[in-house]
Structure 1
Amino acid sequence: MTGDCTRLERSTTDRGAALAVLTIDHGDLNLFDRAMFDSLTADIADLAAGPPRAVLLRAEGRVVSGGVDVHLFDGLTVEQGTVLWRTLFERIIAPIEALPCPVVFAAHALTLTAAFEIALACDLILAAPKAKFGLVETVVGLTPSMGGPQRLAERAGSGRARELVMTGDRYDAATLHDWGVVNQLHDDVDAAARALAVRLADGPTRAHDATKRIIAGWRSAGVGHADAVTPEVSGALFGTEDLRGAVRSFLEAGPGKAVYTGR
């Protein structure tokens, strides 16, 4: 599936696992304008309708994104602004987080505002050492409103989230790696991210989904709630072909020999 601003490509790994690569490709700066949001929304809806076993989200061009096209905000009323943010949560952020498979984000260069907030909605963020990140909405009197501050606070702590958002500064990948925001640094981040996506796609998809659901329980209501949902979420894995086959493989051939199908 190819839109005007994004490209969604589905393939299979050598082991037959379904893999999807969603690429942002919208001019030199990959600005998030209405067309970009619409194209991205359509691709994410496609992924939600037919989830693969892993997703890689990446970008072409000199930068991952220079941010949002400010024309999008010009003249909006309070009501229109509220609808805009609610729509972006419902059609982009929430569906990414709800995908029942690992989602990897690759940042090869500058990653600002909406692109950074989308990265924070993914499961794992990989970055090149030269990449920089920023939530710079203060330059137009806004605060990041696609979930960036709260997801940054989850990864790095509330004090660092306030610093990054309130200063509007750009932070290098090494700093955000130290803060726990970026998971891995790689010189060839695209190759590393693709390799990781393939590895995750080949893995126990239902178990990865269970991990996401347990962590989502913690995010929504703390450790007690996560503990409460874990027995049912994890218990359901005993009904999967992957767990039964992996247990037999472990007992018969030792660890690391199981082949997963996602079922």
Structure 2
Amino acid sequence: MQHQQFLKVESLENNIFTLGINRPERKNALNTALVVHIADTIEQLISDHTAKAIIIYGLQGNFAAGADIDEIATLSPKQALLDARVAAWMRIRQCSIPLIAAVEGYCLGGGMELLLSCDFAIADKNAKFGLPEVKLGIMPGAGGTQILPRLIGKNRAARMIYTGEIMSASTMAEWGVVTELCDDVLEQAKSIATKIARNAPFAISQAKRSLNNSVEMGLEAAMNYERQVFSLLASTEDKKEGIAAFKQKRHAVFTGQ
């Protein structure tokens, strides 16, 4: 499969990029090659183009309606353990810049786990969400049973995972899976990304790492890490520029230094 054709990459102003999943005949289902390509593309955009924010969305009406069922059908236990997706999902979650999920249509299974790998998500009012893996005799395997309960609590996550039911966008907003509902998710995501891109990029990357630590570390260890990074940022050129711009009532010009 020429997986490159299933991911549409566009460059916007302010070092913002969009990644559009483009497998409409499969409702943008995610197979191994596509997940790996998403991870590779994110890393390349950060390395080659100093991307400051990336928006992930689905073309033609759906975010991603799960993993590729044909792949799962023939997956052996050994293949599942050695699946290249395992490392790819980790690379997506651990990337250094903000990832925004802009969700329309179906966001199910692997699509839901892609959303959970992003920093936050916005959604169309009619979007549909779920982790229906148990209906196929399997379970979420890319963060659904780990990231989701940290986000919405064990009880709500248990309901979603055990029933496999499709949840509404309004419920996902109420539970905190998505931060807001809107009519034009891509335009709203671009607006938010523009606000992010105006800020100091090194400070953003360190704030992201510290935020991730808040759910991965104990409180004291995470607090100590936060203070160490805060102290590091106090010596940067961007801090000097940010303070000077504030005092001079002008827009700061950050360099990442």
**Do both proteins adopt the same fold according to a TM-score greater than 0.5, normalized to the shorter chain?**
yes
Please give the residue correspondences for 1:51-130 in structure 2 after superposition, counting only pairs within 5 Å. Answer: 51-84=50-83, 87-91=84-88, 93-130=89-126
Name the residue aligned to 2:195.
Answer: 199
1:33 & 1:197 partners in 2: Cα distance? 27
Q: CA deviation at 1:126?
A: 0.4
Name the residue aligned to 1:137.
Answer: 133
1:198 & 1:129 partners in 2: Cα distance? 23
**Match 2:37 to one of 18, 24, 39:** 39
The CA RMSD over aligned residues, in Å, is 1.9
Q: CA deviation at 1:153?
A: 0.8
Change in Cα spacing, 1:244 to 1:72, as seen in structure 2 (3 Å) is: same
What SS class does the counterpart of residue 9 from structure 2 fall into?
Answer: strand
Structure 2 unaligned spans of 5+: none
What SS class does the counterpart of residue 148 from structure 1 fall into?
Answer: coil
Name the residue aligned to 1:258.
Answer: 252
Is this contact kept in 2: 1:218–1:224, CA < 8 A?
no
Deviations 1:2-53 (A, max 9, x none): 912112223432xxxx112111011231122344334324323423544411
Q: CA deviation at 1:75?
A: 3.2
Is this contact kept in 2: 1:96–1:121, CA < 8 A?
yes
The one-letter amino acid of 1:139's match is: K
Please give the residue correspondences for 1:221-236 in structure 2 after superposition, counting only pairs within 5 Å. Answer: 221-236=217-232
Is this contact kept in 2: 1:110–1:132, CA < 8 A?
yes
The one-letter amino acid of 1:23's match is: G
Q: CA deviation at 1:258?
A: 2.7
What SS class does the counterpart of residue 146 from structure 1 fall into?
Answer: coil
2:247 & 2:46 partners in 1: Cα distance? 36
Q: Percent identity?
A: 26
Calculate the TM-score normalised by the size of structure 2: 0.91
Deviations 1:70-129 (A, max 9, x none): 111223222111112xx32311x2222222221111002111111110111111100010
2:123 & 2:74 partners in 1: Cα distance? 35
Is this contact kept in 2: 1:63–1:111, CA < 8 A?
yes
2:8 & 2:132 partners in 1: Cα distance? 26
Change in Cα spacing, 1:177 to 1:35, as seen in structure 2 (3 Å) is: same
The one-letter amino acid of 1:197's match is: A
What SS class does the counterpart of residue 239 from structure 1 fall into?
Answer: coil
Name the residue aligned to 1:26.
Answer: 23
What SS class does the counterpart of residue 32 from structure 1 fall into?
Answer: coil
Calculate the TM-score normalised by the size of structure 1: 0.89
Structure 1 unaligned spans of 5+: none
Q: CA deviation at 1:55?
A: 0.9
